[in-house]
Amino acid sequence: MKLLRFLLEIDGKEIRSIPFLENLNIITSKKESDDPGNSVGKSTLGRVLDYLFDGSIKPIYIDEEFQTPKKEIEQLFTKNEVHVSLEYLGLDNQHSIIKRRLSTNVDLQSYILNGREVTSKEYIHHIMGSVFNVSSAKPTLRKLAPKFFRTTQHRMTKTVNFDNGRNVSKSDVSTVFLYLFNFNDTEILTKIHKLKTAIKGYERNLKAFNSVISQDKIVSSIAHMRREISKLERSLLSSEKGIDKLEIVSKINRVDDEQNALSDEILSLDLNIKNILETNEILKSNEQVHLLDELQAIYEYASVKIESTLQDYQQALAFHAHLLSTKREFVSHGLDKLQAEHEKATVKFGQLKNQKQSLFDELKSKKKIEEISDAMKEIGKLDKELAKLTAIIDKKDDIDSKLAIERQSLTELSGQLEAELTSVTSFEGKFIDNFKEYTRGFYGVEYKFSLNLDQEKGECTPHVDDVESNNEGGLKRLEVVTFDLAYIKTVCDKKALRPNFVLHDSIDEIDIQHVRKIFDESIKLSGQHIVSMLSDKLIKEDYQKYNRHIILELSQDNKFFKL
C-alpha cells in the first residue's frame, strides 16, 4: 500500500500536484518568510484526503471555532469547479485514482473512480477493498478513516477512542480494533454480530411465549379442548338407543356407490336399446328406397347387371323383402334380453333409493336437527379457540427451532473466530512490543496497552494504561503519534494486509526534541507518515536535515488553494 500523488484542479487547470514520499512527508509553512505560518492551509491536505475517503466537506471551509464559512473558500467552491484526486497503489497491487468535486452543493459532490463517475456505493466499495482489504459490511469506511486521518484535535488527543462521530458504539470500537489487529475474515464479525442479535431476539421472544404459555396454562387448555371436541364429535355419530350413526353413514355411502354403478349400467342399456329401435324404424320407413339402393349397390359390386339376373321386379321385391326381414331380425337380436336387464336394473335402482331414504330417515330420527346444529356451533367455537392456542405453541416451537439453528451456526462460526483471534493475539503481542519500545524511547517509560480480548465473545475493549499515559497536550499528542507509528511498524513486521500510512495534523505542541525523534523514526519506517507543523519549530539545522522530506511548503502568498 502506498500513497502516490495528490492533485488539485480548478476549472480543469492543475493547481497543485503533491507527490508522496516513501516514509516521512512533512507539510509546513515557508521557513524564510516574515509572515506568520498560521492560516495558510497546513491542515487542509489532511481534511481534503479525509473528504476523498467520504468524509464531510465542512472542515475544509467551515471555521472550527465559530462554525462560520470561510468566505473565500466558500465562493471558490460555489463559483468554480474544484476537483481533488488521490492516486495510490492499493493492497491489491493495483493503481487507483479516486476523485471528487469540492462543492457546497451536496448534489455536485461527485464520485469519480479511475476517470469514470460512479455511485457512492461503488466508490466506497472500491476503497474498502483496495485500501483496507475489507469486503464485509463492517467496519465501515467512516469508522476506519479517523484512525488514519487524524485531522481534528479530538483525533489527535484520543489514542483509542479516536472517532467522535455520531452513533459510535462499543461494538463499533471492538470491530474496528479487531480489524486493525489483523482479524482477516471481517465477514465473520458481521455474521456473528447478526447471529448474536438474532439469538437475543429469539431468547427474548421465547421467554415471553413461555411466560404466556405457563401463566395461561395453554398446554392443559389445548388438551381439554381437544377432549371436548372429540366428545362432541362422538355425540353427533351416536343415537339415544346406542345405534352407531357412523355405521349408518357408512351404509348410505355404500348405497351411493351401488346407485352410481347402476346408473352407469342403466345409461348404457338405454343407449343400446335406443340404437336398435331407431335402426328398425329407419329400415321400416325407408323400405322400398333402401332396398332398391342396396340392391343396386350389391350387384354393381358383383359386376352383374340387375336386369339380366332377375326376371321381373316382383322377384326382386320378394328377394329383398326376405333380405330386409333377415336384417331386422339380426339388428333386433338380443333386444328382449337388454330390455329385461334394463327393467331389472331400474327396479334395483328404485329399491336402493328407497333404502337410502330410509337410512336418512333413521339418521334424522335419532336426534333433533337443532341439537346437531348446536353441537356443530360449539365444535366450531372450540376449533377457533384451539387454533389460537395452538398457534402460540407452534410459534414457540418455531422460535425454539430457529434458536437451535442460530446457536449451531454461532458454534460453527466460533470455531472460525477462534482461529482468527489467534492471528489477532499474535499481532497484538508484536504491537505491544513496538509500542513499549517507542514510548520507552520518547518518555523513558513503557506504556502498557491491551486489547482486553474476550476470546469467547470475540470482542475487545482496547485501552492504554492511564497510570503511565499523560493527558497534557503535547505529551498526549506524542502518545497518539507513537501509537500510530507502532501500528505501522507492526503492519510491516507482520506483513499484514492493512494500510501502512497515517496523517497527523499539527504536532506543534510536541516538544522539538520529540519532534526530531518522530522524524527520525518515521524515516526508518516501511510506511508513510504525513505530518503538518509550523516551520518555526525547526531550527536552521533541522530544516536543512529534513528539507528533502517536505512535500508541501505554504505561505501567506502561497496558500493551499492559492487564493
Average pLDDT for residues 376-392, to the nearest whole number?
Answer: 72
Interatomic CA distance for residues 358 and 255, integer angstroms: 11
Tens-place pLDDT, residues 520-540? 999 999 999 999 999 988 899
pLDDT of residue 329: 67
Q: What is the dihedral of CA 554, 558, 562, 563, to 10 degrees?
A: 120
How much is the mean pLDDT over the chain?
84
DSSP track, 341-366? HHHHHHHHHHHHHHHHHHHHHHHHHT
Q: What is the mean pLDDT of residues 454-481?
A: 84
End-to-end CA distance of the chain: 33
Residues 191-235 pLDDT 10s: 877 888 888 887 888 777 677 667 667 777 777 778 777 777 676
Other residues' Cβ atoms within 10 Å of the Cβ of residue 217: 10
Task: Map 76-106 to HEC letters.
Answer: HHHHCCEEEEEEEECCCCCEEEEEEEECCCH
Q: DSSP character for 312?
A: S
CA distances from 383 to 21, 94, 213, 356 (A): 80, 68, 18, 32
Report pLDDT digits (tens) over 47-89.
Answer: 999 999 999 999 999 988 788 999 999 999 999 999 999 999 9
> Does residue 484 register a pLDDT over 60?
yes
pLDDT at 240 over 60: no
Give the number of other Cβ atoms within 10 Å of residue 437's Cβ: 15
pLDDT value at residue 330: 65
Laid out side by side, the sheet with 82-89 consists of 13-19, 2-10, 82-89, 95-102, 111-113, 116-118
Q: What is the pLDDT of residues 12-50, one digit of tens each?
A: 999 999 999 999 999 999 887 666 667 889 999 999 999
Segment 145-165 shows an average pLDDT of 94
User: Each residue of 303-357: pLDDT tens digit?
Assistant: 655 555 555 555 656 666 666 666 666 666 677 787 788 788 788 878 878 877 7
The domain segmentation of the chain, as residue ranges, is 242-366
| Encoded amino acid at 463, one letter | H
Is the overall model pTM greater than 0.75, yes or no? no
Integer Cα distance of 233 and 245 in angstroms: 11
Contact status, residue 27 vs residue 36, Cβ threshold 8 Å: no
Q: pLDDT at residue 289 above 70? A: no
Q: Which residue has the higher pLDDT, 252 or 188?
A: 188
Q: What is the percent of the chain where pLDDT is above 70?
A: 82
Whole-number pLDDT of residue 344? 83
Which amino acid, residue 465?
D
- Greater pLDDT, 347 or 287: 347
Angle at alpha carbon of residue 481, lines to 7 and 31, rounded to 5° = 55
Residues 6+ apart with CB under 8 A from 347: none
What is the bridge-based pairing of β-strands 550-554 and 24-29? parallel
